[in-house]
Copies of this chain bind each other. A is one copy, B any other.
Amino acid sequence: MTPPKRRQPVMADVAKEAGVSHQTVSRVINDHPNVRAATRARVEEAISRLGYRRNLVARALVTKRSRTLGVVSFDTTLYGPASTIYGIEQAARTAGYFVSIVSLKTIDSDNVRDAIGYLAEQGVDGVVVVAPQRSAWAALESLPAGMPAVAVEGAHHGGVSAVSIDQIEGARLATRHLLEQGHDTVWHITGPADWLETEGRIEGWRAVLEEAGRPVPEPLTGDWSPRAGYEAGKSLAAMKGVTAIFAANDQMALGVLRALSEEGVRVPDDISVVGFDDIPESEFFSPPLTTVRQDFAAVGRHCIEVLLRQIDMGPAAHERLVVPPGFVVRSSTAPVG
């Protein structure tokens, strides 16, 4: 005599309970129209009586669609990636998709390729790669065949769709603003080498200076951290004639602010400072930071749009979507003199 095994009920159990075939149960679950209302009700009652839950793994096996999207990202602790992923997750769930995340400590082509490989085995319907370093590119070249994919900030790139914020324009906004305040030139603290953002911001900054016929000072290399900004700030404070600084992100700008304050340099009276990102804190820096705003949530949403389009319509169109940056003027910048 078999004891009543308390295993999870499956479709066949519901079918028996409701006195229909398992296929009819399937139809009810998937909202197929051709089911008599009475039958539907009977099935639904059986479902709730048994506490049945559909098994998406089994469904995925036969439909070859998991309704799961993979996300590969670099350090999700940073504000930018974290916000982007949040946007991705919200948009994905709204569209009925799950999100499976792999976040990498170090980015190189192999890492990214492996991560995408794992996700492919897991059966994701597509991947978004939030890895704004040059070194991540190669991995995007060798995607598993037919895998829909979209890159964040991989704008220049070859055969894969990409969504990005216009870094060059953001840097232009920042630099132009400073020039309009009457500053002679603008010093720049960059992000780490190899990052696309770093390059774009340098490019925009340099372009504005050159167009205005201003001297282009040697940029100081940072790494996004407040400490890097702090150190750059110390160097800059020791130099003559520095009146305007454009830091490649808000955290470094914070470091600059700190360094200048320690050196007795007043912001914005003596030196103006602009950041990039508009993190929630920057409004409350001392002084509140003028900065470039990035709409990460929009980036996340667009990623999902592009990706779903690719999943639904095949890998036909490679899209390139650019989100414009905003600029918010606060109290860390002022007319010179």
Instruction: Write the residues of chain A forming the contact surface with B, with a CB cutoff of 8 angstroms.
Output: 6, 8, 51, 53-58, 60-61, 66, 68, 75-77, 79, 82-83, 85-86, 89-90, 93, 98-103, 105, 117-118, 120-123, 144-145, 225-227, 229-230, 251, 254-255, 257-258, 261, 280-281, 283-286, 288
Minimum Cβ distance to chain B for residue A4 (Å): 14
Q: List 26 A-B contacts (CB under 8 A).
A: A53-B117, A53-B120, A53-B121, A57-B57, A58-B61, A75-B86, A76-B82, A76-B85, A76-B86, A77-B79, A77-B86, A89-B102, A90-B103, A90-B105, A98-B122, A99-B100, A100-B100, A100-B101, A225-B280, A226-B281, A227-B283, A254-B281, A254-B285, A258-B286, A281-B281, A286-B286
Closest chain B CB from A141 CB (angstroms)? 16
Please state the number of chain copies in the assembly. Answer: 2
CB atoms of A226 and B82 under 8 A apart = no
State whether B100 touches A118 (Cβ < 8 A).
no
Residue of B nearest to A225 (CB): B280
The answer to whether B102 and A101 have CB atoms under 8 Å apart is: no
* Assembly CA distance A144 to B117 (angstroms): 31
Contacts of A105 in B (CB 8 A): 90
The answer to whether B101 touches A89, judged by C-beta atoms less than 8 angstroms apart, is yes
Distance to closest chain B CB from A65 (angstroms): 10
Question: How far is it, in angstroms, between the C-alpha of A32 and the C-alpha of B55 when the chains are bound?
Answer: 29
User: In the bound complex, what is the Cα–Cα distance between A57 and B58 (angstroms)?
Assistant: 8
Known: A76-B86, A101-B101, A258-B286. 4 other contacts (CB 8 A): A55-B123, A58-B61, A76-B82, A77-B79
CA distance A51 to B120 in the complex (A): 13
> A144 touching B66 by the CB < 8 A rule?
no
Inside 8 A of A101's CB, which chain B residues have their CB?
Answer: 89, 99-101
- B100–A254 contact, CB under 8 A? no
